[in-house]
Structure formats: C-alpha cells, structure tokens
Structure 1
Amino acid sequence: MLSAGSDVAVGRATPVSRRAALLSTRLVARDTWWQEFDCPDIAAAALPGQFVMLGVGLDEPGAWLLPRPFSVGWTGPGGEVGILLRAYGQGTRALARLEVGQTALLLGPLGRPFDTAGADVECVAGGVGLAPFIFLAAREAAAGRRVRLIYGERDAGAVFDPALIARLTDHDPELFTEDGSAGRKGLVTAGLDPASRALLLGCGPTPLLRALAAFAREHGRRLQVSVEEHMGCGIGTCQGCVVRGADGRWVKSCIEGSVFPAEELDWGAI
C-alpha cells in the first residue's frame, strides 16, 4: 500500500515536456470540455491518478505564464491523452479556446498514482474529479476487476456526457445531482455502501474528500484520495500545493501525492 514515508517516485516514469497538438475538443457540459492531445510519450507512461501540467507556453504574446494541473483522464491506443477541463478562470478559459491543430505544452506524467493492488474498487467523483476514474475504470475493467463509478454534480447542466463516459470506460456511472435534475437527487456520498469491502477511491472538492474520510473511519473502509490543490509547477519547487500530513509535517501534493491513503492526512487541517 502507499506510504508517504516511502520513496514516492518508485515505479514512476520520468516526466517529459512535450508540445502536443490538440486532436479534438468537445463541449461536454456547462463550461466543460473534453480535449484529446497527441502525446504518445505521456500516454504510454501515465498511470491512473497521475496528472499533467498543461499550458500554452510563452510563444503566445500576452499568455498567462503558469500552467494548470489536470488529471490524465484517458489514454488512447494512438498516443492520445484525454483531459477533462472545466473553465474557471483566465488560464482554463484560454485552454478551452484552443482549436484542433493548435498546440499546448504538457509536462508529465506527474504525481503518485492510485494503488489498487488487484482489489475491486468503488470510485466516488465530485465534478471534474471524475477525470482520473475515467482512466482507472477502463484499465481495471480490462484486467477483469469490478469497478463501481459514483459521480456527482450540482445539476444536470454540469454533468459530463454519460454516453461518452460509458464509451471511454465501458461503465455506466451512477449519477447524483444535488437538485435532482439528473440521476438520483442528493449528494454523491448517498451512493456509498457501508457493507461493501471494495477499496474506496475519492477525487473532488475537499468537503467531499473530508466526508469520505469520515465514512471510511466509521465503517473500517480502506480509502485513497486524490487531493485538489493549487499548483504552480507540479515538480515540488513552488510549494504552493502543500497539505498537512497526519504526522504533522507539510507534504507536497504534487510529488508525494496527489493520491494519498486517507490515514496519511490531517483532515482537521485540510
């Protein structure tokens, strides 16, 4: 199992920086795009739970300088890397405006991946926290393991195209919306099964991860979470992504995470 005290780089490919052409871009929900880049080196090396730093670089006059972190959402047989992008600000809106044939800079794969160790898994995704589970579900299913994918959004307008999820993962997600406008009404945590012994994986906003950690403690469930922190570099230099570990030290989520066993984090400080 993962351990923050271990050499967190063991088994990972060395990150590479590549300028990659945008192969396709598709509006899949409100302010949300599915983009696929031509980047065989990263596609061949990436593991579920890892991420890339994505930016337009300095060639574009007036471009914002810092890249943004995105989970690797899928890799294709032709070297494609899929990214689920929700436009929140200037940087992500610039990426959303990219047209097919234009290029972006990708650095990756970065971070510590999920470690399923052959277990059946129950994935809980909030918002664009869905991305790593698109990648993971496809791989786990291909290996013959059972995957349950529980996905929540605020309303129907924010829901990533369920048909596309099914095509990419060969799984139909169990959908929850807070207002009941799509799928079942309620928070995504309403889909949790206390009796299940599957490995629990979570990705999404911090309140969701905190709720999953409490659920896991109460029911004796194993849980790994992918934290969503602001990152400026992705390689441990800027220290903008630190989170408090259960041992009291600050850990860099870009290199010691962004996937952590839940018991390794101080949930009172996150």
Structure 2
Amino acid sequence: MLAIKNLEAGYGKVKVLHGTKIDVPKDQVITLIGSTGAGKTTIMRAITGMLKPTGGEVTLGGEKIDGYDSHKIARLGLAHSPEGRRVFATMMSVTDKVLLGAFPRFTGSRPKGDIKNDLEKFREMFPRLQERRNQLAKTLSGGEQQMLAMARAVMLNPEIILLDEPSKGLVPILVEEVFKIISNLKSQGVTMLLVEQFAAALNGANYGYVLENGKLATHRPAAKLKDDLAVKAAYLGGAVAIQ
C-alpha cells in the first residue's frame, strides 16, 4: 500500500531524516512512535508532499509519489490529519469543514461514491461533532478540532489515512474518545499510519516502528514491540490503547 524507502528530508541545511524505511500494508494499522524532535512529523510531511524529500522514495499502491504536490497525492487516496489540527479559522461550519474533505470527490478527481451516505456515517462515528454541526469550526475545543481534522480526512474516502499525534495536548477523556474513533476505523478495515509519542498506542496495531534522531531504532510486530523493556522505559504512558 504505502512504502517509504531510505527517506531523507530536512529543512534548509538541517537534515532530519537519515534513510528511514517504513511499510504500511493494506488493511493494517502501523504505529510510529518517538520522542519530540525525533522526526515523526517530518516523515508525515515528506509523505504528503508538504516537504520535498532530498533522498529515497515514497510509493502509494506501487506509484512513486515523492515530489508530487499535496493535492495530487490526496487525489490518489492518501488523507492526512496533521499535527496541530489545521482546521483554519474561517467562517465555515463544522459540516462545511467535513465536506471540504470530500472536495476531490465532488470534482471527480477521486471516485465520488455516495457522499450523502458517508456523511451519515460521519455523524454516527463523530457524535460530538454531530451535536456541533452548525457551529463555526473555530469555536470548537482543541479535542473537537482534532476530531474534525480526522473527520475531514475520512470524508476523502481514502485508501490510507495518516494520523499525526491525534492525542497531543488533549485531556484524558478526549484522548479516549479519539482512540475509540481510531478503533472504529480499524474495525472497518481502514489502513492507517499512526504517529504518537507513547508506546501505549501500539496496543491493537499490527506493526510498530520506533524513530530516534531521524533514524529507525527498532521495528517489529506491535505485540512484541510494546513488551520491549527499553521501549517501555522510554515511551510508556499517555495515549489510550487502540482496541
């Protein structure tokens, strides 16, 4: 599905990624954990076209996408729920923001499908947003904005979703709600790459990678990785487990 090989990227003269390799097979949840500054968000930006890699390659469904613009990558079916939510402070309602995620489907650059039915599914999956569907997006709490960013990504009807630290900065009760949504997506067979700081996010994932200083420190099936004493010592805590 998604393959990252020997990926190198950075900002100006500062090199952040040093030959990173990650595989995300179809219908699986892959978790990437690492401390602040390890390069996790840089990987996500390099995958989605927000940052041009300086080496290596990224393929989606066998098509080489590194160097593509973000809008072209989205049309191929890769959705991104970014760190910091980025729901933008415009005069748009929650429902309008969610439908914005389906824009490539309205224009015909993605298979349209039944958008109305998908919107109903969104309302079931994100009941808190359903309650606030007519509010301006900028009036939502931080946790609600995180859910909105996820809902917007889901409305692309993507082949794969990238979730960049969805629990960051949230109170525990909202972290739990966000991970229930991720569990729901997993149960529907949605392919995901989940970036988090905490080893607890490995629970329920298929495979896990640990990133340190822009390089992979270790990787293995998530069930084994979460029991690694060194991983536990460095990253245990914080995130609620995927069920």
- The two structures have a TM-score, normalised by structure 2, of 0.32
- Of structures 1 and 2, the one scoring higher in RCO (CA 8 A, sep 6+) is 2
Compare the two structures and name the one with the higher helix fraction.
Answer: 2
Compare the two structures and name the one with the higher strand fraction.
Answer: 1
